[in-house]
Structure 1
Amino acid sequence: MKNRIHFTLALALLLANAGGCALNTELSIPEKKIPANYPDQKNAATIANINWRHYFDDPQLIRLIDTAVANNVDLQMALQRIEVARSSVKLANGTLLPKVDLSVGGGVQKFGLYTMDGAGNASTYITPGRIVPENLTDIYLGLQASWEVDVWGKLRYQRKSAISNYLSSIEGTHFVISNLVAEVAVHYNELLALDNALDIIRQTLQKQQEALEVIKVQKEAGRANELAVQQFNAQLLNTKVLETQALQQIIETENRINFLLGRYPQPIARNKEMLFQAVPEQIAAGLPSQLLANRPDVRAAEYQIEASKFDVKAAKAAFFPNFTITGALGFQAFNPEFLFQSPASLAYSLMGTLVTPLINRNALKAQFNTAQANQLTAMYNYQNTILKAYVEVANTLSNIRTLQKVHSLKEQQSRVLKKSVEASGELYKTARATYLEVLIAQQSALQANLELIEAIKRQRLSTITIYKALGGGWK
């Protein structure tokens, strides 16, 4: 009998080892080497290391970002995800330790007389002169313990996976902060651009109103006809439409900022002149390799790889036998008055159990294959995150250079068209230009000025985009 038990145990261990050792936990994918430099960038210095309170030099914008970081709902949810991950680490730590419970219980049981237990109890004295009661109570007070001995490291791997997921959640929160800071700054600068566009529209309205009054006077003097009056009036009405649309866009942009700040709509304090602050001609982008340390999404993806590696190893360890020790120590009696009469009422038990999977190992294989697929997915996601980050930086750097040229050209165009408006007005007064030429000059000047504001806004937004793309905004 003893030899049969030893044979069964040895066979179980042999099958478990044979199945577990055949599983590959060292996975890899083709490596994509990150470029050494960005195009036209050789400096190792990077703006990503600048705190956002120093990167943005607008006190009103800084106050808005501070409020957003304190109250934004998405950020609060990200912080709660950190708490969930932290609790998972504590849970994983707990599985490594013995589980000890205090047990208090009681019950009553009656055996049939014509049974082995009933017949035995009826003829047995539990104390001198007193047989076992027919209705037998059972009272227990003591400690119960169980401990899964982590022989193969499964529980330790699960703990390491939980720690990696926790660190990933922290980096994920940093990424939320970085996006939040950038988003508030973007909408704030859009608001400044709308304010300045509204000023241009209203200045144009005033000039168009004056031109309309002039054309009406000229009509009365016989120097212009009703068609000219209607054309000037139509242009005036079209500009009023632009004014109405700009006012609506301002309201919506203010509301978007308030939403990011976690509050209901209210006016946003700002200084519209801040839009015209000079932006740096050269952006210190650093080296592409610095993205691995500065971008929170890249770091989060890296921790996800670590977590998936430990999950694979834990899934492999599940093929090996589990060794569990259980025990109990306490007092047990049929009557409370005998409960603490040691050693007669002392009860204890100790057992070691070795369990190895034999049948339905396909479920463990499916679990292991899933863990492998998750690890490969995490590796590809890491590569994709780095590639996405590099492309984002490269595109933004190129866009910054392009916008510098666009800004310069739009400034020249605006100056030229301003002169054309003045010239067309003077020529019209001396009958050397038609009213259509005046209308075209005014419309072109308005469009050019609005496009100049748009170019300035896009240039400022590009400095925000590159700051976030390089990994700034969360420190």
Structure 2
Amino acid sequence: MKIITNIIGALFFSIVLLSGCKVGPDMKPPEVLMPDAYRFEYNDNDSIPDLTYWKVFKDPVLLRYINNAIDNNQDLGIAMNRIEESRLALGISKTLQLPSIKFLGQAGYGTISPNNTIIPSENDQYVLAPQLSWELDIWGKYRRNKESAVASFTQTNYGYRAVMLSLVTQVANTYFTILDYKNRYKIALSTYKSREESYSIIKDRFDRGYTALLDVNQAEIQMNFAYTQMIRYQRLIGNSEISLSILMGEMPHKIETESTLYERELPFYVPVGMPSDLLLRRPDILKDYYNIVRLNADVGVAVAQRFPSLSLTATGGLVNDDATNFFTSNSLQWSVYGILAGPIFNFGRNKKRVEIARTKVKAAVLQYERTVIRSVGEIDNTLLEIDTYRKEIEATQSMLAAAGSAYTLSKARYAQGVVSYLEVLDSEKTYFRVQMNLSRLYRQRIISFVKLYKGLGGGWIEMEISK
């Protein structure tokens, strides 16, 4: 008994000495050289605005669609289930360091006892005993495993936020695309009605011998062209409504809109803050960062597998060869023993596992760096778009006023017989093209603000990450 006590005391002394030991590398955040400012930033404000989507998209209909998508989108639901799966895996990892208790019940007949000792003669054997097993985490294998599980859980949370951010921007982009297509449909419809009226007038003049057949043909061509554009945008509106319905997790249905494309209020310039703020805001960057943390902890797990493991097992229960007297006092037996086991020669498999784990970390660091660089480039590109689209819109608005005036004058000159109908057609086509182009530019500038919202990592719902 004294020997057993000494062994147990030595084991616990070893545990105290080695309990703080964790083999493998500790996490060192990768260093990414960030620029001092964005290349195309046009203001001196160094603070990032609160880019929550309900403040950026001041449209109650759009906000309703965004909330519907957050509640019902299947991809977002899948991402949420992955969080739950990761949370449960984290719960498992927390229990690996704790002892396990199992129940042993055996009944048999032979010359070998349940504890594998030889008995002199054939005999009945009955065992009923609980058993406690505990593998001591000397090298920090289970603590590294917990680090990996915590990082995986955190990574999954940020993955969910990245999916949500992408979903919100997709809904907004599709909604503004529908507004653009509806606006272009109205332009095409108005143009069709105008050209239909012109065709009737010219056809009547031809019938009375006042104009040439060429004018009739040209008028008919332009009338039908406007009609085909009208039908085209009907189709595009329907396609976009189906896409938005699917994003909201609903069966395809008509999308109601209350405002027009030109009713959007957008700021002249946008403060975007320092590029380094992205590292703390963008969920895709944070997701890649915690992927490095997870894989770095896995290196520690792989390293720990190269060292011996120490386990303690305690068994106490009833052992008897007579079932009728199974619960007699002399049937109570117990044992406590330790097991030290470790690899000796396995053809370098454990070493290669460590090398594989380190290689995964290197790849994850490169992925992280790529995400950071692309995010800065994405915002620079979006800021450039916002400013240049603004300038294009201003020039196109002036062009539209001139084109409208030219079209009105050409119709008056044609009615007076001063010019041919070809001049009217040319000015009318220019006016139609400029109207369509202005609608497109408005949509693209609005979507640039949506892209900026996404690029700065704004709008995702803050969630508590418990570790």
Same-fold call, TM > 0.5?
A: yes
Q: Which runs of structure 2 are paired with 1:176-215 in the superposition (5 Å)?
A: 176-215=163-202
- Which string of whole-angstrom CA distances, capped at 9 and with x for unpartnered residues, describes residues 316-363 of structure 1? 222211001122211122343322212x11122222111121111511
1:432 aligns to 2:433 (yes or no): no
Query: Structure 1 unaligned runs (5+)?
Result: 1-19, 122-133
Say whether 1:456 aligns with 2:442. yes
Displacement of 1:28: 7.8
Indicate the residue corresponding to 1:305 in structure 2. 292
Which position in structure 1 is the counterpart of 2:35?
Answer: 35
- Between the aligned partners of 1:189 and 1:117, the Cα distance in structure 2 is 83
Q: What does 1:97-176 align with in structure 2 at a 5 Å threshold? A: 97-109=98-110, 120-121=120-121, 136-176=123-163
Change (3 A) 1:409 1:302: same
Aligned counterparts of 1:245 and 1:355: Cα–Cα separation in 2: 74
Q: Does 1:419 align with 2:418?
A: no
CA distance in structure 1 between the aligned counterparts of 2:280 and 2:127, rounded to whole angstroms: 58
Retained in 2: the 8 A contact 1:193–1:272?
A: no
Q: TM-score, normalised by structure 2?
A: 0.89
Please report how far the alpha carbon of residue 227 of structure 1 lies from its aligned counterpart in structure 2 after TM superposition: 2.0
| CA offsets 1:294-337 (integer angstroms, 9 cap, x no match) | 10011111111211221112222222110011222111223433
Q: CA–CA distance in 1 between the matches of 2:293 and 2:350?
A: 21
Deviation at 1:274, TM superposition (A): 4.9
- Are 2:346 and 1:360 aligned? yes
Contact 1:164–1:307, Cα closer than 8 Å, also in 2: yes
Asked if the contact 2:111/2:118 (under 8 Å) is kept, the reply is no
Contact 2:261 2:443 in 1 (8 A): no
Q: Distance in 2 between matches of 1:193 and 1:275?
A: 9
Alpha-carbon distance change, 275 to 351 in structure 1, aligned in 2, over 3 angstroms: farther
Query: How many angstroms does 1:179 deviate by?
Result: 0.6
1:453 aligned partner, one-letter code: S
Q: Match of 1:189, as an amino acid?
A: F
SS in 1 for 2:194: helix
Tell whether the 8 Å contact from 1:58 to 1:274 is kept in structure 2 after alignment.
Answer: no
Which is higher, the Rg of structure 1 or of structure 2? 1
Q: Distance in 2 between matches of 1:171 and 1:439?
A: 56
1:145 and 1:326 in contact (8 A); partners too: yes
Q: Secondary structure at the match of 2:102?
A: strand
Distance 1:151 1:72, change over 3 A: same
**Alpha-carbon separation, structure 2, partners of 1:117 and 1:428:** 119
Q: Is 1:253 paired with 2:225?
A: no
Per-residue displacement from partner, 1:425-446 (whole Å, max 9, x unpaired)?
1111111111111111111111
Q: Counterpart of 2:55?
A: 54
TM-score (norm 1): 0.87
CA contact (8 A) 2:96 2:142 kept: yes
Counterparts in 2 of 1:279 and 1:246: CA distance versus 1, 3 Å:
same
Q: Distance in 1 between matches of 2:443 and 2:321?
A: 86
Instruction: Read off the aligned partner of 1:307 and give its amino acid letter.
Output: R
Q: Tell me whether 1:239 sits opposite 2:226 in the alignment.
A: yes
Percentage identity across paired residues of the two chains: 27
1:289 aligned residue: 276
C-alpha distance after superposition, 1:15-53 (max 9, x if no partner):
xxxxx99x9847989944101212334322213x33222
Structure 2 distance, partners of 1:174, 1:31, is: 24
Q: CA offsets per residue over residues 55-111 of structure 1, 9 Å max, x none?
A: 211000001010100111111111111122112211211210111012233234479
Taking a change above 3 Å as real, the CA distance of residues 275 and 105 of structure 1, as seen in their structure-2 partners, is: farther
Contact kept, 8 Å, 2:24 with 2:300, in 1: the verdict is: no
The aligned amino acid for 1:161 is: S
User: How far, CA to CA, are the matches of 2:30 and 2:164 in structure 1?
Assistant: 32
Within the candidate set 191, 205, 227, 1:218 is matched to 205
Opposite residue 35 of structure 2, the aligned amino acid is P
Which residue is 1:350 aligned to?
A: 336
Task: Return the match for 1:280 from 267, 271, 284.
Answer: 267
Match of 1:380 in 2: 366
Partner of residue 80, structure 2: 79
Q: Distance in 1 between matches of 2:77 and 2:24?
A: 40
Q: Deviations over 1:137-195 (max 9, x none)?
A: 33322212211100111111111111011101101111111111111000000001111
Could you tell me how far apart the structure 2 residues matched to 1:361 and 1:91 are?
31
Give the SS at the match of 1:140. strand
Is it true that 1:93 corresponds to 2:94 in the alignment? Answer: yes
d(CA) in 1 for partners of 2:118 and 2:362?
Answer: 60
CA distance in 2, matches of 1:227, 1:361: 89
Q: Distance in 2 between matches of 1:173 and 1:453?
A: 34
Alignment check: 8 A CA contact 2:183 2:261 kept: no
1:347 is aligned with what amino acid? Q
The amino acid of 1:440's aligned partner reads: D
Relative to 1, partners in 2 of residues 1:238 and 1:274: Cα closer, same or farther, differing over 3 Å?
closer
1:104 is paired with a residue whose SS is strand
Instruction: Please say which of residues 155-164 and 101-110 is displaced more in the overlay.
Output: 101-110
Amino acid at match of 1:159: K
Partner of 2:215: 228
Letter in 1 for 2:171: V
**Shift in Å, 1:276:** 2.8
Relative to structure 1, the CA distance from residue 197 to residue 212 in structure 2 (aligned partners, 3 Å threshold; closer, same or farther) is same
- Distance, in Å, in 1 between the alignment partners of 2:24 and 2:161 is 34
Within 1, Cα distance between the matches of 2:51 and 2:433? 37
Separation in 2, partners of 1:163, 1:209: 68
Q: Aligned partners of 1:66, 1:257: CA distance in 2, in Å?
A: 13
The answer for unaligned runs of 5 or more in structure 2 is 1-20, 462-467
Q: Measure the CA separation in 1 of the matches of 2:31 and 2:290.
A: 18
